[in-house]
Structure 1
Amino acid sequence: MTTPTYTLIGAAGTRAGRALWMLEELGVPYEHLSAKPHEASVTQHYPRGKVPVLLVDGEPITDSTAIIQYLADAHGQFTAPAGTIARARQDMLSHCVLDEFDSVLWTAARHSFMLPAEQRVAGVKESLRWEFNRNQTSLAQRLGDTPFATGDAFTVTDILLAHCLVWARAAKFEINEPYLVSYFERMTQRPAFKRAMAKG
């Protein structure tokens, strides 16, 4: 099978870092355009101006989760096969991470600097920190002592979860569950993660 031509648009310090990480894990050739949200190189493919955008032979795919799942499926790596119980568990945990980690951190960012000042809610971050801590406890109990989010193998879910933990550290949301602390350290030592983040 001929590998498509990939161009990933978006700075490594955004959710584009997830797609960069997946591309590095796969070891496939790609071009990276380190664009910020709403730049012309983004809006010409996605009028809302959000990153990342992955061009596959010139065809745009948007949303970081859709991109990394597409890449995993296309290359048959880092994902359980569609239509299996293992894939259902993977998708279940991916959606849990998006609902309980990504959304909390995104709301904090919006009320810190993204929304117009008059639309920000003072003090909301303390409520979000409480929610983030509660969600950590729940997820740690759910995962037990597995080396990766879905068991014994690295999957797209690990990219989502580890990236959210990186984001949490940057936003000063404490990672206080011992399992997630050690998990964070393991994931961020992966060579592909380091190569992806170095593009920032």
Structure 2
Amino acid sequence: MREDLIFYTNPQSRGRIVRWMLEEVGVAYKTVVLDYGAGMKSVEYLAINPMGKVPVIVHNGNVVTEGAAICAYLAEVFPAAGLLPQTMKEKANYYRWLFFAAGPLESALTNKRVFAEEPDAEKERMLGYGNYEYTLSTLAMAVKANPFIAGERFTAADVYVGSHIGWGMQFGTLEKREAFVDYFARLQQRPALKRAAELDDALVEKASET
């Protein structure tokens, strides 16, 4: 039943990552759209996620927050979708790059957008990602190594890593290096990504009409 899996989101948020993952999994789910004001800060929603942010899923009463965690969770609880790594090599790459994207990459891209100046060498030691250039060069190496981030097969890690690369290039926080362009072009062929984008774009359009 749809009510067994509830998806809290806003179409102009990181919820688009989870929407893509849900479409890859291919199970029925209920969507609850929240605005950035009263919706996300209501008493009812804060009881689900005290951070007052989206995305969140509630599966059989169990709450999962954080985009990377949700992707990993859905891949595990719905194994028939084939989005889990299989070999030890795939597992190593899967976990390495999934958490790289959730930690160093997201921090580097966010800081690049918010702060005008790069941190000096002394401050770099305090940052989990070092600096922007190190992070992007490492990511470029990762996406050039194989067709997909964990190897020859598409996995849940590609949903998360690919979303950050796609958004980064779109909004100018990530350089359009050839490795990133080629990698994301492969992901854009995914039918689930196209369906997810259509669903969220329709919600954005609907909101603009009200």
| Range class of TM-score, shorter chain | 0.7 to 0.9
- Show CA shifts across 1:49-105 (max 9, x none): 021110112322111111111110011121125x94532331011122223321122
Q: Which residue of 1 aligns with 2:197?
A: 197
Matched position secondary structure for 2:21: helix
User: Are 2:84 and 1:79 aligned?
Assistant: yes
Classify the secondary structure of the residue corresponding to 2:34. coil
Partner of 2:206: none
What is the TM-score when the length of structure 1 is the normalising length? 0.79
82, 88, 96: which is aligned to 1:92? 96
Q: Normalising by structure 2, what TM-score?
A: 0.76
For 2:152, the aligned partner's letter is: D
Which segment drifts farther, 184-193 or 2-11?
2-11
Residues paired across the two proteins, number: 186
Note the 1:1-200 alignment, pairs <5 A.
5-37=4-36, 38-40=40-42, 42-76=45-79, 77-80=82-85, 84-108=88-112, 111=114, 123-124=116-117, 131-200=131-200
Q: How far apart are residue 143 of structure 1 and its match?
A: 4.0
- The answer on whether the counterparts of 1:42 and 1:51 sit within 8 Å (CA) in structure 2 is no
Give 5+ residue unaligned stretches, structure 1. 112-120
CA–CA distance in 2 between the matches of 1:185 and 1:152? 15
Question: Secondary structure of 2:108's match?
Answer: helix
Q: Does the 8 A contact of 1:7 with 1:33 survive in 2?
A: yes
8 Å contact from structure 2 (residues 18, 67) kept in 1: yes
Deviation at 1:185, TM superposition (A): 1.6
Structure 2 unpaired stretches of 5+:
121-130, 201-210
Q: What is the deviation of 1:3?
A: 9.0
In structure 2, distance between residues paired with 1:44 and 1:148: 37
Residue 115 of structure 1: aligned partner: none
Q: Cα RMSD (Å) of the superposition?
A: 2.9
Identity %: 24
- What do the CA deviations read for 1:145-177 (whole angstroms, capped 9, x no partner)? 411111111112111111101221343224332
Report if aligned partners of 1:24, 1:196 keep a CA contact under 8 Å in 2.
yes
